Homo-oligomer: A and B are copies of this chain.
């Protein structure tokens, strides 16, 4: 299910994850959850030039994470959450794994608790 679509769009995922790998850009996304914002508004909380913030916004845009609409002289940005969903889906593939691991750990703890039976069925290691 996931297997079929995961990693087929590697360059897209490259862009999305790279865009998310910067706290400034993540904060901008958080802000955009509240609604449309102009470039200036997005830039304002950050201790950097408007040009620098503009670059961050361009990075988010070219990753497909936001859309921009020019109205007059101001550029309005809004979330375009599709790629976020893709990244989320990509990570979901691993959810099964880490859930299994936690389950296994839990079972191990329970087993240690009630250490009476002599089950030594080792989970196969590759």
- For residue A50, CB closer than 8 A to chain B, the reply is no
What residues of B have a CB within 8 angstroms of the CB of A22 in the complex? 14
Interface size on A, residues (CB 8 A): 39
Q: What is the count of identical protomers in the complex?
A: 2
Report the separation of the CA atoms of residues A21 and B10 in the bound assembly, to the nearest whole angstrom: 9
- For residue A91, CB closer than 8 A to chain B, the reply is yes
Report the separation of the CA atoms of residues A88 and B85 in the bound assembly, to the nearest whole angstrom: 10
Partner of A7, one of B26, B36, B87, B97: B26
Interface residues of A (CB under 8 A from B): 6-7, 10-11, 13-14, 17-18, 20-23, 26-27, 29-30, 33-37, 79, 81-82, 84-85, 87-88, 90-95, 97-98, 101, 125-126
